[in-house]
Amino acid sequence: MQLVVARIGRPHGIRGEVSVEVRTDAPGDRLARGVVLSTDPPDAGPLTVATARDHNGRVLLTFEEVPDRTAAEHLRGILLLAEIVESTDTDAEPDAWRTHELVGLRVETTGGDRIGTVADVRPMPAQDLLVVELANGEQRLVPFVTAIVPEVDVAGGRIVLDPPDGLI
């Protein structure tokens, strides 16, 4: 199974280096030198990590296939995908989910009212945000914290919200 491990941002410098928005808990493993990553869209890759470094809290990468800034500019917005082997570890965190497990789940209130569905999960520095698509097509960003999201029932196909006034 392939999962998104990063999104390519803007170029950095003139030698083809790019900033990336990390979307994995293990960037040291997933974005290490020599790792071959698939891309979305597929025609942009695969890309082989040549270098990886931290620069003021941002991860910067170069790829063997990207010789300069001009080529790096064309990668902006590309998603980097890694092959992930599903874990059968029974000690896994009970409140840890992957984006693909949450997208498409029905979203309802603690009172049982249907709000919409999960369209995406956006990783943010403080906490992740659920992108909830309402029935009318509008989207709302919901902090993915226990106080607002007291229940995630992947098997039951739903997420329960206890939203503060004005959030939805």
What are the tens digits of pLDDT across the range 110-156?
A: 988 899 999 988 877 778 889 999 989 999 999 988 899 999 998 89
What is the pLDDT confidence band of residue 48, given thresholds at 50, 70 and 90?
Answer: very high
Q: What amino acid occupies position 123?
A: P
Question: What distance in Å separates the CA atoms of residue 80 and residue 103, rounded to the nearest whole number?
Answer: 18
Write the DSSP symbol of residue 39.
E
Instruction: Please state the rounded mean pLDDT for residues 42-52.
Output: 91
- pTM for the model: 0.59
- The gap between the terminal CA atoms of the chain, to the nearest Å, is 33
What is d(CA 68, CA 87) in angstroms, rounded to the nearest whole number? Answer: 38
Whole-angstrom distance, CA of residue 52 vs CA of residue 102: 30
Map out the domains of the chain with their CATH numbers.
2-83 (2.40.30.60), 99-161 (2.30.30.240)
Distance CA 27, CA 72 (A): 20
Note the pLDDT tens digit of each residue in 54-105: 888 889 999 999 999 999 999 999 999 988 765 544 445 556 677 778 889 9
